[in-house]
Amino acid sequence: MSFNLGLTGSIGMGKSTTAQMFVDEGCALWDADAAVHRLYAPGGAAVEPMRAVFPDAIENGAVSRPALKRVIAGTPDALRTIERIVHPLVAEDRATFRDTARADILVFDIPLLFETGGEAAMDAVACVSVPPEIQEARVMERGTMTAAQFHQIRAKQMPNDEKCERADFVIITDTLDHARRQVQDVVRQIRAGLAHA
């Protein structure tokens, strides 16, 4: 029986890097964003259902994210329709991973874990965190969005303090070494618990 660990954290907190550290410790990783990419790719399970509702969002046999953004911007309720199509497919992808992964600890990298009530399906939750000024500096360094866009995204996410309060483990990602030591500690604690189960 595997241990299901939810991994979450707001934009710019270092979640992807931390997820890879869990893989380095022998955990299996399911990434919500990667699952959506698979569903949107040519031949992906979301392509035909999306084509039926938003044909303009399909380019070269795949769901185009830029085209989808335009559809969402111009169509009231588009987001709700997209979620109705995509969420069950993502859940199916996650269930397949859970049934087939061969590791003692399964890590589920889900940015909006608490926002969607996903923590109910987890045995524990780890939240990555850094102070807000480091978070903003990291996002701005990527050069993919403006400060206004960043603040808009952050405003839509559950406040970091609340996520940390609700999590079983908080991993501070101020440096790679510090984050790795904490990941190793979390893995040790979970494995010790599994050994005594």
Instruction: Examine the domain organization and report whether 179 and 143 are in the same domain.
Output: yes
- The predicted-structure confidence for 96-114, as pLDDT tens digits, reads as follows 999 999 999 999 999 989 9
Instruction: Examine the domain organization and report whether 39 and 84 are in the same domain.
Output: yes
β-sheet bridge partners, residue 58 = 63
Instruction: Examine the domain organization and report whether 187 and 149 are in the same domain.
Output: yes
Instruction: Examine the domain organization and report whether 22 and 48 are in the same domain.
Output: no
pLDDT at position 153, please? 86
Instruction: Examine the domain organization and report whether 122 and 79 are in the same domain.
Output: no
Report the domain count for the chain. 2
How far, CA to CA in Å, does 189 sit from each of 35, 105, 192? 28, 11, 5
Instruction: Examine the domain organization and report whether 18 and 47 are in the same domain.
Output: no
Long-range contacts of 35-42 (CB under 8 A, 24+ apart): 35/90, 35/93, 35/94, 36/86, 36/90, 38/93, 39/63, 39/86, 39/89, 39/90, 39/93, 40/65
Instruction: Examine the domain organization and report whether 43 and 112 are in the same domain.
Output: no
β-sheet bridge partners, residue 5 = 107, 124
Tokens of 108: 């589920």
Q: Are 13 and 130 in contact (CB under 8 A)?
A: yes
155 pLDDT tier (thresholds 50, 70, 90): confident
- How many CB atoms are located within 10 Å of the residue 57 CB? 23
154 pLDDT tier (thresholds 50, 70, 90): confident
The type of residue at 120 is: A
Instruction: Examine the domain organization and report whether 19 and 93 are in the same domain.
Output: no
pLDDT at position 44, please? 96
CATH at 176 = 3.40.50.300
Say how far apart CA 14 and CA 160 lie, in whole Å: 13
Q: Are 162 and 127 in contact (CB under 8 A)?
A: no
The type of residue at 15 is: K
Residue 133: φ, ψ to 5°: -70, -35
| Final residue before a domain boundary, out of 82, 102, 122 | 102
125 pLDDT tier (thresholds 50, 70, 90): very high
Instruction: Examine the domain organization and report whether 98 and 138 are in the same domain.
Output: no
- The predicted-structure confidence for 59-105, as pLDDT tens digits, reads as follows 999 999 999 989 988 888 998 999 999 999 999 999 999 999 999 99
Instruction: Examine the domain organization and report whether 107 and 146 are in the same domain.
Output: yes
Instruction: Examine the domain organization and report whether 130 and 175 are in the same domain.
Output: yes
Domain with 115, as residue range(s), is: 1-27+103-197
| Final residue before a domain boundary, out of 71, 102, 133 | 102
- The predicted-structure confidence for 34-47, as pLDDT tens digits, reads as follows 999 999 999 999 99
- pTM for the whole structure: 0.90
Instruction: Examine the domain organization and report whether 6 and 60 are in the same domain.
Output: no
| Final residue before a domain boundary, out of 62, 80, 102 | 102
